[in-house]
Each structure stands twice: as structure tokens, then as C-alpha cells.
Amino acid sequence: MHYRDFGKTGLKVSQIAFGGGAVGGLLIDKDDAYKVAALQHAMDAGINWVDTAPAYGQGQSEAALGWLLKKVDPVPYVSTKVRLDTDDLSDIPGQVERSLVESFKRLQRDAVTLVFLHNQIGESPGRGKLPVSAVMGPDGVLESLERLREQGLFKLMGITAMGELPGILEVINSGRLDAAQVYYNMLNPSAGYKLPPSWPVYDFSGILEACHANGVAAMNIRIFSAGVIATDNRTGRESPITHGDTVESEARKAKAIFDEVGLSYGTRAQTALRFGLAQPMLSSIIVGLAEMEHLDQAIEAENMGPLPQAVMDRIQAVYQSYTS
């Protein structure tokens, strides 16, 4: 396992992190023995970060980690999240604190490494978005988290860099964050570099550069686009979270890429993961897992290393020539 700097924090974090989300669902769906074996296997491979959230399985992911973390060695860094009810923002500090109290009960911990805001950021209504003023203003999310951090409940704080680009960049550039979860994959790597008009995507331009400039650790989310990149088999959990995208449109783009590069660089999932590893501004890639085999593939892909530049160039050529 290789490790990268986690922004300005001084931590060294494994290039892949264990994702506790509901799309893969390993921490939610599998039996207890399977969960223990999978998490210990990840620790043995050198993975040192586990990511969860109250929304994952309506608390089931956190609750599983509550007892699992007592059974594995070494104990990894842990991140969880806070999602606010945007219909009532009259008491943001109270919402943040109550959410964390419940998370810590499920996690059976007094503290975690990092707390992310899970809401999207943006001025237009819908999708649970928070305006920048609610994030950065007096008694807003960041101020609330800063107070709780002073109490020792966590060391680091961050956002989920989803929503509307101007607001996301404003928060990242505030200098108040330690980390951000960043959408980045071979179907939409716009957070890291400019894409041609022939390859339409939801625009995240400049996010990784802003993170890098501010010493904000970038944790990659959706490296497999909820499984659409990794396989043609559908589970019903595929759920694009970028405006304008559908499972069908994502699948067409994935087909165009793999028609060009084939499977000479690992499985589809491994090729996608190695695409992420080729981005030096990412601190770690959160990998969603449904089976132990998926974990093995991820560990193997991390050992293979980033895709060769020649392959990255071929993928770029697909972006240039694509017609939807």
C-alpha cells in the first residue's frame, strides 16, 4: 500500500479508503463474520481510513463500525458526516451537535478523525442544498463544527464538494477546511482538468486546484460512478448524483472508453481506480464495496499503480471524439 499526504494535516493516508456507503453496502448487507473479515483484510493490506455517514443504511453503516472497530487491528482513521434539514435552518449549531451525538452513539466512540458536511452547497433550492451563508456565516455549519472541534470531538473538518461550483469554491478558498470529498472519475474528471464540449459533464472545474492551493485534502468519491463504470450488471442502486446524468448516459460514456482501452489494464473497476490514482491532487480514493472480491481487486489495482500516460492520452482522445 502506498500513502499520500492528507492536505496540510500532517497525516499520511492510504491511497484507497474503505467506503461504508449504501451503494456497495458491504457494512450494511453482509453478515457479521463477513464484515469482520473484510475490514480486517483491508487493515492487513494497509488501508488506514474508513468513511461512513448517518445516511448510509439509515445509520446501519455507523452502527456496524461501532462494534467492528473493536475487533480489528490496527484501528483506522474514521470519517463521518453531518447532513442538515434545510427546511429549518433556525438552529444550525443544534442540528450539527445532535447529528454528531447520534453518530457517536452508533459508532460507540467519543471522537472521530474527521467530520464532513454531507449537504450540497448552492444558492438555488432543492436536493438539500445549503447556501454559502448557512455554511460560512455566523452560527453556520463551519462555526458550529469549529466549536465542537475545540471540545475534542474530532480533529478535522470538511465538506462534500457537490452542488453549485461558485459556492463550493468559495468555501474551499475560505481557508477553514481540512478536507473535501471530491467527485472525480473517468466519466467526469472535470474537477481536475478541462474537458471538451464534445464530452458533456456537470462542471466541477477548479475544485482540485483550489484544494491543492489551500492545503485541503481531497478524498475522491464516486470513482466507479455508483458501479456504472465497473460493470454492466445493474443492482438498482446506481444513482447518478450529478445534474443531467442518467444511468444510461453514464453507461454510454463508459462503453466508449472501454471500447478504446479494453481490459488490458485490469478489470473495468481496476482501470477506473487506476485512472483516479493518476491524479496527484487526490489524497485518497474512497472505494465502495459489496464483496470481498471487490476489495481484493481494489488492493491489486492500487499495487498496479496509476494508468500509464499513454492510456490516459487515449481516454482524452475519446473525450475529444465522442458523440452522444
The SS3 of residue 77 is strand
Adjacent-strand bridge partners of 266: 264
Cell, residue 243: 445534474
pLDDT band at 240 (very low <50, low <70, confident <90, very high): low
- Cβ atoms of 322 and 247 closer than 8 Å: no
User: 221-237 pLDDT, tens per residue?
Assistant: 999 998 889 887 777 66
User: 278-307 pLDDT, tens per residue?
Assistant: 999 999 999 999 999 999 999 999 999 999
What DSSP letter does each residue of 150-188 carry, written as one string?
Answer: HTTSEEEEEEE--B-HHHHHHHHTTT--SEEEEE-BTTB
Full-model pTM: 0.95
Residue 221 parent element (H or E): strand 217-221
User: 153-208 pLDDT, tens per residue?
Assistant: 999 999 999 999 999 999 999 999 999 999 999 999 999 999 999 999 999 999 99
Report CA torsion sign: 91, 96, 102, 108.
Answer: negative
Instruction: For 3-321, give the CATH class.
Output: alpha beta
With cell 459556492, the residue in question is 167
The gap from C-alpha 287 to its chain's centroid, in whole angstroms, comes to: 8
Which whole-number Å values give the CA distances from 146 to 96, 97, 192, 225, 255, in the listed order? 11, 11, 29, 32, 44
